[in-house]
Homo-oligomer: A and B are copies of this chain.
Amino acid sequence: MARSSLYQQVAAELRKAIYLGALGPGDQIPTEAELMEAHRVSRNTVRLALGELENEGLILRMRRRGTFVRERRPLLIRPQQELLSLNTGEPRIDAFVHAVTSEGRQAGQDIEVAIVEPPEDVATRLALADRALAVVRRRLRFVDGQPYNTNDSYFPYAIVADSEIARPGDIRRGANRVLEELGHTQVRVVDDISARMPTPDESSRLQIEPGTPVVVYVRVGYDPEDVPVRVAVSVLPADKHLIRYELEAR
- Measured CB to CB, the residues of A under 8 A from B are 1, 8, 12, 15, 21, 55-57, 74, 79-80, 83-84, 86-87, 120, 185-197, 199-201, 204, 211-215, 238-239, 241-250
Contacts and interface: CB of A to CB of B under 8 A. Distances in A.
Given A187-B249, A193-B242, 19 more contacts: A1-B204, A21-B120, A55-B197, A57-B196, A57-B197, A83-B249, A86-B249, A87-B250, A189-B246, A189-B247, A190-B244, A191-B246, A193-B244, A194-B215, A195-B213, A196-B213, A196-B238, A197-B211, A215-B215
Contacts of A242: 192-194
B245 A191 contact: yes
Count of identical protomers in the assembly: 2
Contacts of A1: 200-201, 204
A56 B194 contact: no
Contacts of A238: 194-196, 213
Main secondary structure of the interface of A (DSSP, over half): mixed
Nearest to A214: B195
Contacts of A244: 190-193
A246 B57 contact: no
A139 to B, nearest CB: 20
Contacts of A239: 196
Contact of A188 (B84, B204, B246): B246
A193 to B, nearest CB: 4
26 contacts: A1-B200, A21-B120, A56-B199, A74-B194, A79-B245, A80-B247, A83-B247, A87-B250, A186-B249, A187-B249, A188-B249, A189-B247, A190-B245, A191-B244, A191-B247, A192-B242, A192-B244, A193-B242, A194-B215, A195-B214, A195-B238, A196-B213, A197-B211, A197-B213, A213-B238, A245-B245
A193 B192 CA distance: 12
CB-based closest 7 A-B pairs: A213-B213, A195-B195, A195-B238, A193-B243, A191-B245, A86-B249, A56-B197
